[in-house]
Amino acid sequence: MELGGRNRKLAAILHADVVGFSRLMGEDEAGTHRALGELRRAVDPLIASRGGRIVGTAGDSLLADFSSVVDALDCAVEIQRAARAINDPIPSDRRLELRIGVNLGDVIVDGGDIFGDGVNIAARLQALARPGTVCISHTVYEQVRNKLDLDYHPLGSHRVKNIAEPVRVYAVGVSAVPGRARKRPRLLLAAAGASGLLDELRACAGLAKRDAGSDRTESAWRR
């Protein structure tokens, strides 16, 4: 879409950054550079395979956009799994661990670059993520929660630099094994019926106490 001489589009934005990259470079510049190259050789094909486009890189950071927010988050999770596989045999103080933020927003397209709050929020989400994890905005969560079987943990609203409104943030758990069967609806149903189950258990316990008529049964229930 063109507006006022500028192109705009709705995009899913992925922003990734290596934790402690300056320290790693200071300790072993050549080794860290080689490790970053190995990580990029694993990451770049994952982005391409999900229809993503690498918009830019600056040292240890990477910015990519996707037409599908589901593909963007799925890619973020697979990137973290790939990084984990690379890092596992490496001493913990030499690992290139990633933080990733994913946002969905309207952006300005200028040549091969993208600009706007949608990009800035993705960068702020990345900064909020713990090493080896992904943080997403509420906008992303609303689109993916019933499509990707992941563990979503609400982190509340955060005021972030240069963004007028607070951003609702979710941390996404990254399991070691992909492709789990979706279990979330069953868990939700179980939670919804928990109070009814408790009532039934209490009723059964009451019958047991009344029938046995002994202090032993009552003591066992209390325990």
Residue 188 lies in a domain: no
Q: What is the pTM of this model?
A: 0.77
| pLDDT at site 169 | 96
Looking at the structure, tell me whether residues 112 and 157 fall in a common domain.
yes
Residue 13 lies in a domain: yes
Residue 186 lies in a domain: no
Residue 77 lies in a domain: yes
Looking at the structure, tell me whether residues 213 and 160 fall in a common domain.
no
Q: Which domain holds residue 213?
A: 193-222
pLDDT score of 194 more than 50: no
Looking at the structure, tell me whether residues 123 and 18 fall in a common domain.
yes
Residue 185 lies in a domain: no
Residue 161 lies in a domain: yes
Residue 115 lies in a domain: yes
Looking at the structure, tell me whether residues 9 and 91 fall in a common domain.
yes
Beta strand 134-137 with 113-115 is unpaired
Beta-carbon contacts of 175 under 8 Å, excluding residues fewer than 6 positions away, are: 150, 151
Looking at the structure, tell me whether residues 129 and 85 fall in a common domain.
yes
Looking at the structure, tell me whether residues 104 and 210 fall in a common domain.
no
CA–CA separation, 12 vs 23, rounded Å?
31
Residue 155 lies in a domain: yes
| pLDDT at site 86 | 96
CA–CA separation, 27 vs 138, rounded Å?
38
| pLDDT at site 175 | 59
Looking at the structure, tell me whether residues 209 and 135 fall in a common domain.
no
Looking at the structure, tell me whether residues 39 and 100 fall in a common domain.
yes
Kindly report the CATH number assigned to the domain that includes residue 76: 3.30.70.1230
Percent of the chain with pLDDT over 90: 70
**DSSP calls for the chain:** -EETTEEEEEEEEEEEEETTHHHHHHH-HHHHHHHHHHHHHHHHHHHHHTT-EEEEEETTEEEEEES-HHHHHHHHHHHHHHHHHHHTTS-GGG---EEEEEEEEEEEEETTEEESHHHHHHHHHHHHSPTT-EEEEHHHHHHHTTTS--EEEEEEEE--TT-SS-EEEEEEE--SS--PPP-HHHHHHHHHTHHHHHHHHHHHHHHHHHHH--HHHHHHHH-
pLDDT score of 10 more than 60: yes
* Segment 38-63 mean pLDDT: 96
**Total of domains in the chain:** 2
Looking at the structure, tell me whether residues 170 and 103 fall in a common domain.
yes
Looking at the structure, tell me whether residues 133 and 198 fall in a common domain.
no
CA–CA separation, 223 vs 218, rounded Å?
9
Looking at the structure, tell me whether residues 144 and 105 fall in a common domain.
yes
Looking at the structure, tell me whether residues 10 and 40 fall in a common domain.
yes
For the beta carbon of residue 143, count every other beta carbon within 10 angstroms: 19
pLDDT score of 187 more than 90: no
